[in-house]
Amino acid sequence: MVRILTRNRIVGIAIALVIFAVDQVIKNLVDGPLGLKQEGDKLDLLPFFDFTRVHNYGVSLGMFEATSPETRWLLIAVTGLIALVVTVWMLREKAMGDIFGLALILGGALGNIVDRYQYGYVLDYADLHIGEFRPFLIFNVADAAITIGVLIILARSFLTRDKAGEKAETADLSAAES
């Protein structure tokens, strides 16, 4: 049992590192060889997907923009603290499904922290659209990983809690009938 828990945690750390690495590689491609140097530069890839360089000075959905060096460092500190909490949570977790979700969040958070440290903003580039309609803001791999990780954690918490509650009710009913 201890080996499985240790293995799951190592897998979680590996997933976080892979997400972080993929995010940084793509951002370096956007900033370098793909030639998207200025905010608003665009590379058409598919009829529904482009790379469009955007500088996100805020956090989720551009909220809480860092308008000064102090707020930039405050955002780095807060997101660093969140990443630390997620790391501790992941290392204490037993279920691989939860570890996987937390690993996605951690890898994405680390990628965005590095951006904010290096540039003062998060580099976003993934522009998914249907004609002029954009169902999402422009995002990056880190943002996608964080979103998917949060959805996994939420889904597992709702589904796991319901099943645990049903088991407890069944056990209570069985005990009452005896």
The angle at the Cα of 159, spanning 153 to 164, to the nearest 5 degrees, equals 115
Instruction: Find tokens 């003062």 and name the residue.
Output: 120
pLDDT at position 123, please? Answer: 94
Q: What are phi and psi of 105, to 5 degrees?
A: -60, -45
Active site residues: 124, 143
Confidence of residue 63 (pLDDT cuts 50, 70, 90): low
- Chain mean position to CA 53: 19
What are the tens digits of pLDDT across the range 29-56? 999 999 899 999 999 999 999 999 999 9
Average pLDDT over residues 160-169: 55
pLDDT at position 167, please? Answer: 54
Average confidence score pLDDT of the chain:
86
Q: Lowest-confidence range among 15-29, 57-71, 95-109?
A: 57-71
Domain residue extents for the chain = 2-177
Percent of the chain residues topping a pLDDT of 70 = 85
- Chain mean position to CA 109: 6
Give the sheet arrangement for strand 122-128, strand by strand: 42-46, 49-56, 122-128
Confidence of residue 132 (pLDDT cuts 50, 70, 90): confident
CA-to-CA separations, 32 to 26, 37, 40, 108, 139, in angstroms, rounded: 10, 7, 15, 21, 18
